[in-house]
Amino acid sequence: MAKSFYITTPIYYVNDKPHIGHAYTTVACDVLARFRRLQGKDVFFLTGTDEHGRKIQKAAENNSSDAKSYVDRFAKIFQDAWLALNISNDDFIRTTQERHYKAVAKFWQIVNDNGDIYKGKYSGWYCVPCETFFSDEQLVDGKCPDCGREVEWMEEESYFFRLSKYTQPLLELYNDKKNFVMPDFRRNEVIQFVSQGLKDLSISRSKFSWGIKVPDDPGHVIYVWFDALLNYLTAAGFAEDEEKFKRIWPADVHVVGKEIVRFHAVIWPAMLMSAKLPLPKMVFGHGWWTMEGEKMSKSKGNVVDIWALSKDVGVDPMRYFLMKAVPFGQDGDFSYKGLKEILNADLANDFGNLLNRTASMLERYNNSSLTEADKLFNKESFVKLRAIFDGMKERIEKHYDNLSFSFVLEEIMTLIKGANKFLDETAPWRSFKEKGFDLEVASTFYHVFEVVRLSSIALYPFMPTISKDVLRRLSIYGEPSWSEFSWGLLPMPCKIEKGEPIFKRLET
């Protein structure tokens, strides 16, 4: 059985409702999953929620709730959000599910049997929001180096994972597999961190109870990160379905925010090495969003509400903007002005206008009909337009391999802009006025609608609803396929439906 293409988001911590950062990661994974399905691959796309830890227990107590009821409520909010954003995940993992408890227990036993878990005592500065210990040297002005919040001193008996044992094997991994951590500058950061030497990792807590119990020692709960990372194995069938696990694991790509790259690129492969399991093929760390130059925070009131945003501009346009505005991997700055400028320029002015004005002319000139002969005309301007498409399929595939989503969209918009320029230069309205709906006019329309068809297929992973609507207007039904991303496949004869404008200009 062929291996599935396995894509994961991180599992999201359920201490608040999802925001634009969560949406950014999840939409990116959805775009990649949809493209791989376009290619005919057997895709397994996982997302979910991280529901254990001291932070969750405290949040539940502050809300006068028991922890399980608290996480149930927020897990439902995340599931509803991804449904609203048309996310095509194949599974939604929750770390409070029985299947995950089984997988964690099995994994712990394997690593313990391999001699990589031992009991000791830990003391250090602990950041509750980050669920992480820090040394004096790591603190910044006495505060957490990651989130800037206050830390507290903690001493407790703990189980440890022999992370230090894997310092050299990890460095060899980064050297042998250059794309294991992406983009390159994230890989360099990880190499620099590991080169300083790794310390053994405390992987249990005994001062709170909300978590998975350590096997044979229920006074300890497993450290939330050691538990959470194992979700990728759980969903692949690690503890329950050996055949499924062989088909799905290892993951082809873990997509994560830059703040958790070290957990995924250092601790996670070391854990898998200890258990003698195959390693994921890539960990990709993307950047953060700010709001007009400032870090988003609830206290500042500048957190982007993804429900309000999707209602304001539409789900598909919001997805487009998230993937177009910033090269994936780098930090981005959100502004409503910038969002509306991108959507107006790309979707209303270029793509929408190309379809609308051409369909309107064809409706007037030939009752919205195209015939088989329409694509046969061979003129220099026609050849020039088709030349923009040459090599585009291979370039887009390479961009997807590198998770360069904005570059994919640049390729598509180059073709669309080329078609608009072609339409202006050939001016079929003049030819029609002089000679009627002859072969040259018909061929002009064929070439434009072929660009619309190709662009809709390429845009499908980003804007699935709108893309399928555009294809339907071209008399093309069913699920699009990447095998159809080839020039000359617009079905003939066909009727072109004008319909309502697919994008409305947004007031800036």
Q: Which residues define the annotated binding site for Zn(2+)? A: 127, 130, 144, 147
Helices and strands in the chain, H and E counts: 21, 18
- Exposed (0-12), middle (13-18) or buried (19+): which is 478, by Cβ within 10 Å? exposed
d(C-alpha 183, C-alpha 171), whole Å: 17
Cα 439 to Cα 161: distance, rounded to the nearest angstrom: 74
Query: What b/e sequence results for 262-300 when a residue is b if at least 16 CB atoms lie within 10 Å of its CB, and e otherwise?
Result: bbbbbbbbbbbbbbebebbebbbbbbbbebeeeebeeee
* Residues of the chain by 3-state class (helix, strand, coil), percent to 5: 50, 15, 30
Q: Roughly how many angstroms between the first and final C-alpha of the chain, as a whole number?
A: 52
3-state secondary structure 283-318: EEEECCEEECCEECCCCCCCCCCHHHHHHHHCHHHH
Binding residues: 127, 130, 144, 147
DSSP 472: H
- Evaluate the omega torsion of the peptide bond into residue 250 and state whether it is cis, within 30 degrees of 0: yes
Q: Which residues have a Cβ under 8 Å from the Cβ of 419 and sit 6 or more positions away?
A: 354, 385, 447, 448, 451, 452
The DSSP-derived string for 326-353 is: S-BTB-EEE-HHHHHHHIIIIIIIIIIH
